[in-house]
Amino acid sequence: MPDARVHAADDWATFQTTLRENTPHTPVTFFLAAANVAVFVGMLISGAHWLVPNMEDLLRWGSNYGPLTVSQERWRLLTCGFVHIGLVHLALNVWVLLSVCRLVERLYGNGFFALIYLVSGLIGSLTSLCWNQETVSTGASAAIFGSYGALFACLPRRQTRLPKEALLSIRDSTIAYAGYSLFYAVVQSGRDNPAHMGGLCAGLVLGVVLWRPLTGEERKALARRRLAAGLGVSALMLCSLPFFISSYVEDYRRAIRWYVQREQGALALLGDLVRESAAGSTPDAETAKRLKEECLPLWDAIVEDVEELRTAEGSADKKRYQLLAYLARLRRRAVQRRIAGLRASDQQQIRAADALQHRADHLLAKIQRRIDAGPLPQAPAG
């Protein structure tokens, strides 16, 4: 038994020495960790909550969200890997990144590891879009799962000779990470497991393609061929996945066009009544009465129609119509506030109605600018 322990210790020492000779430093891992922390600090400075950032903050800082990503903001496929949902999320990912990714970077080399990490993150983002376009995907998890995939690719290789101690060195972080991911997969329906699986599979494939022996001249001789193969496989994966993204963008366009057409009549009537009141040709009490009897029922009907669509359609369409429901409720609130202001001759109420109407106009203009490029994110609650 003592001889076996001595032999295992020698193997572990030899393995560490070989890794350090092949890859003396791990700058890619440290850069990625620093980039994740820097983005989070930037979010805090901009006013995001340190524990539970809201959806607007996540989207502003580059989270992956189907309606935005597939329209004109493809950069979100990359930036989402550096945005985190609070300090706990960030701390766990950075801990695992420093623990596991440093080992993977030394196993594959700096350049190969950078390729594995970035491509795994991108494949995870694309997989998320293919699976569920309505999920806001964020965090380094997909790329970290890709690093695990590359690590798994080393295990069957005799030439790698990954000693038990190497796996023990990442045991705690791996158990914590797996437990965290499993727990949230069960209790939180919004957990983006497709991104994790996409990253894991991409890392496994690239790990197989980019693998080289740890020692010997063959390691250097294979470098260029493995890199060319890795770049080719990466390009193939990145180019093929977008073809599987569903045609939900066109569904969004149809829904938005339907809503814009649906509200035109109500907006025209509202505009006529407001102009008549402003010109003094109709008493405020009469305008308030007509708004209540003629205009408000139109917005009630629009809100009801949108809510029926949300109820009748599938889960993805419920979220899709959330924006339209928000718009309709905003318009209705503006009319209700104007009625109250006219009845009480309260200019503050009327100005509040104008402000609500301006918010709705601004959002509608944003929709119309994007209608040929793709849909918009979900509306805020309320």
Instruction: Please give the backbone phi and psi of residue 65, each rounded to the nearest 5 degrees, phi first.
Output: -140, 120
| Annotation marks residue 71 as catalytic | no
Contact status, residue 268 vs residue 308, Cβ threshold 8 Å = no
d(CA 280, CA 343): 15
Among candidate residues 99, 120, 128, 141, the one labeled active-site is: 141
C-alpha 143: how far from chain center: 13
Nearest to 124 by CA among 59, 69, 57: 69
Contact status, residue 137 vs residue 67, Cβ threshold 8 Å = no
CB neighbour burial string for 72-110, b if at least 16 within 10 angstroms, e if fewer? ebeebbebbbbbbbeeebbebbbebbebbbbbbbbbbbb
Q: Which residue has the tokens 């695990």?
A: 148
d(CA 15, CA 168): 14
Contacts of 278 (CB under 8 A, 6+ apart): none
| Annotation marks residue 141 as catalytic | yes
d(CA 230, CA 101): 18
d(CA 2, CA 45): 56
Among candidate residues 63, 120, 137, 196, the one labeled active-site is: 196
Active site residues: 141, 196
